[in-house]
Amino acid sequence: MRDASYDFLKRLLSTPGPSGYEEAAAKVWREEAEKFAQVGGDRMGNSFATIGAGGSPKVMLAGHIDEIGVMVTHVDENGLLRFTGVGGWDPQVLVGQRVRLLTNSGEITGVIGKKAIHVMEADERKKVSEIKSLWIDVGAKDADEAKGMVRIGDVGVIDQDLVELPNGRIASRSVDNRMGAFVVLEALRLLCEEDIGAEVVAVACVQEEIGLYGARGAAFGLDPDAAIAVDVTHATDTPGVSKNEHGDHSLGSGPVIKRATNISPIVSEGLIAAAEGENIPYTLEADSRSTGTDADAIQFTRAGIATGLVSCPNRYMHSPNEVVDVEDVENCARVICSYIKTLAAETNFVR
C-alpha cells in the first residue's frame, strides 16, 4: 500500500465515530476524497465521493464509517456513569478499558470499572460481566461534578491506539468497519487512474451497527444500477472459529467474496472473474440467508439493486483490538477496481 493511503487509513481508524455520531470520522474521509472526487453528504450523515458523473452504469460502493461505542444513561450519587452499548459488545472485553467520551466541551477520559475480584463472593466470580453491572469512572468526586462534565446521551469509544504488528498486520478499534470506508475510497482513487465509462459513487455509510440505516438511505437516494458493499468477516485462523460454519479465511488470504441467496450472482461472479484475471488472491464465503451487512439494506431498496459483497478477514471482531492484514485491505480495493473496469454502458444486471 502506498504511504499516503496507509497514513489515511491510520487517521481514519484513530478518529472516534460511534453510530449516530460519525461526524469527526466523516470529516477525515471527506477531506481525503476532495483530493480527487466530487464530495457531498446527506441529512443522515452519509458521505459521498463521485467520479465519472453521468456515466453508465452507476455503481455504488458502500463501506460503513461508524463503529461500536458506549452511551451514558445515568449519573449516580458518587459521580459514576452508567452506560449502555452502542452496537453489539461482548461485555467481557469492556472491563478495565479506558474510554474517550465525546462531550460538548470536548473529549474526556474515563475508565470502565467493575467490582474487584477480591471483594466478590464465590458465586459472583463464576458469572460473566454484564454491561448493567459496569460503570465509567471519570474521576468526579460526586454527581454534581460529573454532571458538569457529561450529559445523559453522550457517547464514547474505547481509547485504544492503533498498533503495528509484524507481517503487515495492524490492531485497532473501529476496524469494523472504518476499514470498509477506507476501501471504497481507495478503490475510487485507483479508478481515477483508469479509463472507465461508469459513474462510481463511494459512500461512507452511517449507522450500520444499529440497523443498516445509512446504506438504506444512501441507496434510495442514489438509485444505482449496481452496488458493492465492503465489510469485515471473521478470520477463521484462530482457535475455536469453525471453518465448517464460516469457511476458510485466514489473514493474508485476500478479499472474501460473498455468495449468498440475497447477493446478485452477476456481481459476485464478476468480482470472482476480476480477481482471477488480476491474480488477486481471494476466498469465497457462503450465506443461505442474509449477510448481516449493508449489502442487505442496499439490495432490496426501491425495485432492487444488483449488489455484491467484498469482505476482509478480521480477527477479534467487536473488540478494542481487531486485527487485519494490510495487504488484504489493499487487495479488497484492487478487486473492486478491477471489476468496475470491466463494466460498460450495456452491462446488464437483470436476472
Distance of CA 305 to the CA centre of its chain: 21
In 235-305, DSSP assigns E strands to 256-260, 283-287
Is 208 marked active-site?
A: yes
As a whole number of angstroms, the distance between CA 66 and CA 333 comes to 19
Partnered with residue 109 across adjacent β-strands are: 100
From the candidates 32, 208, 327, 330, give the one annotated as an active-site residue. Answer: 208
Secondary structure (3-state) at 18: strand
Residue type, 231: D
Dihedrals φ, ψ of 61, to 5°? Answer: -110, 120
DSSP sequence for 99-156:
EEEEETTEEEEEEEE---GGGS-HHHHTSPP-GGG-EEE---SSHHHHHHH--TT-EE
Cell of 162: 492503533
Element (H, E) at 265: helix 265-277
- The neighbouring-strand residues paired with 40 are 48
Q: Give the number of other CB atoms < 10 A from CB of residue 93.
A: 16
Name which of 262, 256, 267, 271 is nearest 311 in CA terms.
256
* CA-based radius of gyration for the chain: 21
DSSP assignment of 276-292: HHTT---EEEEESS--S
User: Which residues, 6+ apart, have CB-to-CB distance to 81 below 8 Å?
Assistant: 72, 74, 75, 110, 135, 136, 137, 138, 146, 150
* Active site residue ranges: 208
